[in-house]
A and B are shown apart, each in its own frame.
Chain A
Amino acid sequence: MTTIIMAVLGLIFLLPFIWMLSASFKLEKDVLTFPIEWIPTSWNAVENYSKVWFGDKSFLLYYWNSFKVTILTTLTSVIVSSLAAYAFAKVKFKGREFIFLIVLATYMIPPQSILVPQFLLYKSMGLFDSHLGLILLNSFSVFGTFMLRQFFLSINDEIIESARIDGAGHFRVFFHIALPLVQPAIATYAILRFIWTWNDYQYPLIFLRSESLFTLQLGIAQFADAHGTIYSLMMTGAVSAIIPLLIVFIIGQKQVIEGISLGGVKG
């Protein structure tokens, strides 16, 4: 019984998505008819999608840019964060606590409050309006470092000690022992970083100017501005922006949910 009530609630919860998907298949004149045609009477899916994907504002280009930026950001961020996380958890070095505290403190800063100096810095360093600049902005994640550190901490010290006594340096220990042990955590963080970077609108909005560099979020906002009255095309764009996220989420669903609840409950 409760299952049925929850299913109905869940359906209501998903209605905006269902409406969006259905509108993306319709002729423009049918989008706002009432009562809503959940299943279109006349289909216009092929035209809508080909217009959005291969039209004057090509989603193909936005997709390519987004994939490039997101994958490179995720890769860099995972490397940078896992290196730092390992050191903060397992290497005894002078000033470790102090450096960790400083890094952690920066997590509290709202990113918007430092946009202006970042903008000026990028202008002077020649990183403005480039994909490299965009990738760097999301690559130094305090959240990632903190989360991975929790997992490195749970590795038994004796394993690392005995490897060190056998003459292995920290790089060997990191790559051959520690990293394989925290693989699930790395996967979780990578998926989260992928989703967050894919969805990022603010940084591309401020740090990109050339339309040829636009990521999907920027592209779809611009597309919506240009086609603000053609709702079927706007919905087609919205569907196109959400689908890669859904695929990544469905593949990594268990990882994401576990990662979030673990990170959330343990702080």
Chain B
Amino acid sequence: MKNEVGLQVEENIKLSSAKERKVRFKGWQDTLAGYIFVAPMLIGVTVLTIFPILASIFLSFTDWNFITGLKGFNFIGLDNFKNLFKDSIFLKSLTNNIIVLLVVPIGLFISLILAVIINKNVYFKDFFKVIYFMPYISSVVAVAIVFQVLFHPTLGPINQLLMSMGIEDPPKWIADTSFALPSVMIILIWTHIGFQLIIYLAGLQNIPKELYEAAEMDGATSWYMFRKITVPLVSPTTFLLLVTGLISSFKVFDLILVLTNGGPAHSTTLPVVYLYQQAFVELKTGYASTIALVLFVLILLITVLQWFGQKKWVNY
């Protein structure tokens, strides 16, 4: 009897350890498979992103430039940073970027209104989605070239139209220091409406219809319903678009480089454009890295601020 129990126990121990071994083997197998699956991605991100970030931080404290070669760099501490905040072109580019941020709320407002209209009382919804989406998928370089001609101060169709309407001295658009940045902003709004519209349309689908029906029974106007139902209930979507939009407006590069190359008189220079010019035209590697670092911190700051600010106005 005792013997039998003992055997049973022994058997059980054997069984469970085999099971355990099997589980442990599976776990080990899972870990190996996991690493193999993520390896290409991880290696790529490490080599092409993480390592360059560290290098960028390091370079921003040096006076190195492409011409002096690999060995000729000195640590100059915070000098680059001091110079940067005395650099009037850089400060101008920062101001420009702050103005460009306005594109996001203006674009969101227009997109939301268009989305509400398309969602409710329009035939051929899919057709309109495609139309408004076209500028977003189009080649930025091609778009910039087209607008270069459209905005031409004397021969461009836009100004010819304005002059034929009796406006004698229309703005010179991208050739005019005070109109160049607004011109860029108009193009940016035009290209981004499609993207924002599509996301708003998806957000609108999630609002229960009963809310509108109930409000209608109480005699609410459509403007009232828009303000009290639609706007608050799409606020998570608005938040998402605002954060991603503000961040991406710090990356506007192709359009400006082709359209104005930052000019006239730096009126459309943004930090990324200035960064490019310093690094690849002036060949000041260290200085350009400092711009990169400041830009990075700025974007991080905006993201964090947004994150804390959202509680005030986003309804989940």
Q: Which of B146, B258, B300 contacts A221 (CB 8 A)?
A: B258
Are A34's CB and B164's CB within 8 A?
A: yes
Q: With A110-B295, A112-B295 known to touch, is A117 a contact of B52 (CB < 8 Å)?
A: yes
| Contact-residue size bin, chain A (C-beta under 8 Å from the other chain) | 35 or more
Interface: B49 (CB within 8 A) = yes
Interchain Cβ contacts under 8 Å between A and B, 27 examples = A3-B121, A13-B135, A32-B149, A83-B40, A106-B49, A106-B53, A109-B53, A110-B247, A110-B250, A110-B299, A113-B292, A114-B292, A115-B275, A118-B52, A121-B51, A199-B141, A217-B140, A217-B254, A220-B142, A221-B145, A245-B139, A253-B130, A257-B129, A257-B133, A260-B195, A261-B201, A262-B202
Please give, as numbers and ranges, the residues of chain A lying within 8 Å of B114 by CB-CB distance.
6, 9
| Nearest-CB residue, chain B, relative to A174 | B37
Interface: A206 (CB within 8 A) = yes
**In chain B, residues 114-161, which have Cβ atoms closer than 8 Å to a Cβ of chain A?**
114, 117-118, 121-124, 126, 128-135, 137-143, 145-150, 152, 155-157, 160-161
A contacts, CB < 8 Å to B: 2-3, 6, 9-10, 13-14, 16-17, 19-20, 23, 31-32, 34-36, 79-81, 83-84, 86-88, 91-94, 96, 99, 102-103, 106, 108-121, 136-137, 139-140, 142, 145, 164, 169-171, 174, 195, 198-199, 201-202, 205-206, 216-217, 220-221, 224, 231, 234-235, 237-239, 241-242, 245-246, 249-250, 253, 256-257, 260-262, 264-265, 267
Are A34's CB and B258's CB within 8 A?
A: no
Please give, as numbers and ranges, the residues of chain A lying within 8 Å of B296 by CB-CB distance.
109-110, 113
Report the stretch among B1-9, B26-34, B81-89, B225-233 that lies at the interface: B26-34
Min C-beta distance of B240 to chain A, whole Å: 6
CA distance A237 to B257 in the complex (A): 18
Interface: B44 (CB within 8 A) = yes
A-B residue pairs, 6 tightest by C-beta: A93-B34, A140-B44, A261-B202, A87-B37, A113-B292, A117-B52
Are B253's CB and A241's CB within 8 A?
A: no
Min C-beta distance of A54 to chain B, whole Å: 19
| Nearest-CB residue, chain A, relative to B155 | A32
Q: Which of B52, B152, B251, B253 contacts A121 (CB 8 A)?
A: B52
Count of chain B residues with Cβ under 8 Å from any Cβ of A?
96
Interface: B101 (CB within 8 A) = no
Q: With A19-B150, A113-B56 known to touch, is A206 a contact of B33 (CB < 8 Å)?
A: no
Min C-beta distance of B173 to chain A, whole Å: 14
Are B293's CB and A242's CB within 8 A?
A: no
Are A20's CB and B141's CB within 8 A?
A: no
Please give, as numbers and ranges, the residues of chain A lying within 8 Å of B269 by CB-CB distance.
none
Please give, as numbers and ranges, the residues of chain B lying within 8 Å of A79 by CB-CB distance.
40
| Nearest-CB residue, chain A, relative to B35 | A93
CA distance A263 to B71 in the complex (A): 46
Q: Which of A2, A170, A245, A267 contacts B30 (CB 8 A)?
A: A170
Please give, as numbers and ranges, the residues of chain B lying within 8 Å of A261 by CB-CB distance.
198-199, 201-202
Please give, as numbers and ranges, the residues of chain A lying within 8 Å of B251 by CB-CB distance.
110-112
CA distance A170 to B36 in the complex (A): 10
CA distance A19 to B135 in the complex (A): 14
Min C-beta distance of B281 to chain A, whole Å: 11
Interface: B265 (CB within 8 A) = no
Interface: B80 (CB within 8 A) = no
